[in-house]
Structure 1
């Protein structure tokens, strides 16, 4: 495995180890194209049968949407936290003009798959792309090493938002920018976690954690990051995801309850941006 640094001190939660170890989720029709996210479906016609091309396009569009919040990015160094199979890191390098992209993931099997999937790119442009074994709460990088940090649909697995926020602030240079995109509870209502466990198996098993947006923004503020902005993008995520699932899952089955949770205000999808102060 060609890596740019270290190994995580944090153990992998067993449920995360199981979910991302034995099977390559990116090869499954549910995801496809090497991406593992719910997709950003804006601009895709949901009133016709959806194709695998639509599904892959939605996942690529999620990265484009998230990375667009960091612009301008030409010539900068970026780290993706929870880089999975590396498809998003490849998009970032190809489309955003970064000088270098580092993908970091806690799961060694995911890193092996990322190297295999991106072997051609790694061999042609080794000075511009690498993958590192590390945890979001304890990143194996030096202080101020990156201009940009982004994380797409990984924060729901992080067990310690305070530690993740501190590490994000540490590895960013002064003036560096961060964006976190994932699904969160939209408010501090203490009943939300129990409701999500009723609706969604991934919350019942503990694979996903019912983090709240207020908890995330508080953690980012405590870390010293500033200019924090929160934007809901659930309307561009959940209806398309549900429409994609419709031929495979019956109404009322748990994967289709993501839209139900969104409609009732229990869960939403957000992009959260922040900046490390220059002084």
Structure 2
């Protein structure tokens, strides 16, 4: 292991190491197709039976929503922070025409799986896809290297929004944009972390960190990014996610409490965007 890899491993929380390493969350059937997100279900008819096709569509559509929010133009250089198996990177290459996509993940086992899943793309002489180990708070890239940065359902794990925002601002070129999709508390009312820990095991065990959405928005502003926008998309995430969970999890089991937390106005799903001044 290199010194850089040791530093990254040192900052990775043990529950993150286990969940995305030996436990291999990407192999769970609820995350069909190798994606690891709750899905954006706007285009899926929730009155009809849900199958793997609909589930994969929901996960791809979440990426499409984020990529559209990033405002990709021309043939941009794109970075995904927390790329997992790289399924979103591959989709961006297929559908959005970037000149290059870099997928970065903190977990070496996830990157090993991603390299296996996309061996053909990685061997392509055009070198449009690369996969790199790195932490959101310490990115191994040059200043201004990317035209756009995205992150899909990873920010709930990031321990330091200020460092992530500063690194995002640094690696973006002037005029570049960032779009982040994840779930956050709707406000900073005291006791929100405890409420979520009682409802959801992922908050109780520390895999997910309870923070208000304005914590990330404010971090972007502090890092010098402008035109910060916050969009709630929970209405197109939580009901579909709960219906899909119903195939595997009975009512009253803890994963079904994501919808409950949304209905109680504790938790919501957001897309946060910002730009580096040109």
Name the TM-score class by shorter chain. over 0.9
Query: Unaligned stretches of 5+ in structure 1?
Result: 1-5
**1:85 maps to which residue?**
85
TM-score by length of 2: 0.95
**2:110 maps to which residue?**
110
**1:154 maps to which residue?**
154
Q: CA deviation at 1:214?
A: 1.3
**1:3 maps to which residue?**
none
SS in 2 for 1:9: helix
Q: 8 Å contact 1:8–1:134 — kept in the other structure?
A: no
The structure richer in helix per residue is 2
1:226-237 to 2 correspondence within 5 Å?
Answer: 226-237=226-237
Q: CA deviation at 1:8?
A: 7.0
Write out per-residue CA displacement over residues 28-85 of structure 1, whole angstroms, 9 at most, x where no aligned residue.
2110101000000112111122101111111111101110112333311010000000
**2:7 maps to which residue?**
9
Q: 8 Å contact 1:82–1:104 — kept in the other structure?
A: yes
Q: What is the aligned residue count?
A: 273
Q: CA deviation at 1:7?
A: 4.1
The 2-side partners of 1:219 and 1:113 are apart by 32
The 1-side partners of 2:242 and 2:214 are apart by 26
Write out per-residue CA displacement over residues 133-162 of structure 1, whole angstroms, 9 at most, x where no aligned residue.
100000000100000000000000000000
Q: 8 Å contact 1:8–1:140 — kept in the other structure?
A: no
**1:210 maps to which residue?**
210
1:25-40 to 2 correspondence within 5 Å?
Answer: 25-40=25-40
The 2-side partners of 1:257 and 1:84 are apart by 24
1:180-199 to 2 correspondence within 5 Å?
Answer: 180-199=180-199
Q: 8 Å contact 1:187–1:213 — kept in the other structure?
A: yes
Structure 1's consecutive aligned runs of 4 or more residues displaced over 6 angstroms after TM superposition are: none
The 2-side partners of 1:39 and 1:249 are apart by 17
Q: 8 Å contact 2:39–2:237 — kept in the other structure?
A: yes
Write out per-residue CA displacement over residues 231-272 of structure 1, whole angstroms, 9 at most, x where no aligned residue.
000000000000001121111111000000000011000000
